[in-house]
Structure 1
Amino acid sequence: MTQRFTAIVYWEDDVYVAQCPEMGTASQGDTVEEAIANLKEATELYLEEFPLPKTSPRLLTTFQ
């Protein structure tokens, strides 16, 4: 089963920073694409060490 995760990307100082709030992983890159690719790799490495438990799909929403 393919997992879907959220990437939050923003410009900080002189690089793009990408964070995955579900896993707590983060990375950076010179472009948005590079930051996301680096985040994907960091998250994959994290999940090799700390696999996700079998759970039902999660819903992401916002509220005030």
Structure 2
Amino acid sequence: MYRFLVVIEKTDTGFSAYSPDLPGCIATGLTREETEKNMHEAIEFHIHGLLEDHLSVPESSSFAEFMAVA
């Protein structure tokens, strides 16, 4: 099983998502739930493509943290 950080951002028309560890792997949707589903499918597709091309799947090295600033 692979695990990747996914960043989801609100846009003017819905939501968009990307993974810093998988350059070019992105998804969009009208709702956050739709975007999460689409991103899950995009990551699966991306990984399958890498494996079919006999390329290694990158290790996840990204992380996120909320920081409170007064």
TM-score using structure 1 length: 0.74
- Flag structure 2 segments of 5+ consecutive residues without an equivalent: 65-70
Q: Which residue of 2 is the match for residue 15 of structure 1?
A: 14
* 1:46-61 correspondence to structure 2 within 5 Å: 46-51=46-51, 53=56, 58-61=60-63
Quote the offset at 1:4 in angstroms. 0.6
Q: Which has the higher strand share?
A: 1
**Which structure has the larger Rg over C-alpha atoms?**
2
Identity of aligned residues (%): 23
Q: Relative contact order (C-alpha < 8 Å, sep 6+): which is higher?
A: 2
Quote the offset at 1:10 in angstroms. 0.7
Report the AA paired with residue 21 of structure 2: E
Measured in 1, the distance between the counterparts of 2:57 and 2:6 equals: 22
- Flag structure 1 segments of 5+ consecutive residues without an equivalent: none
Quote the offset at 1:6 in angstroms. 0.7
How many residues align? The count is 60
Flag the 1:54–1:28 CA change in 2: closer, same or farther, 3 A: closer
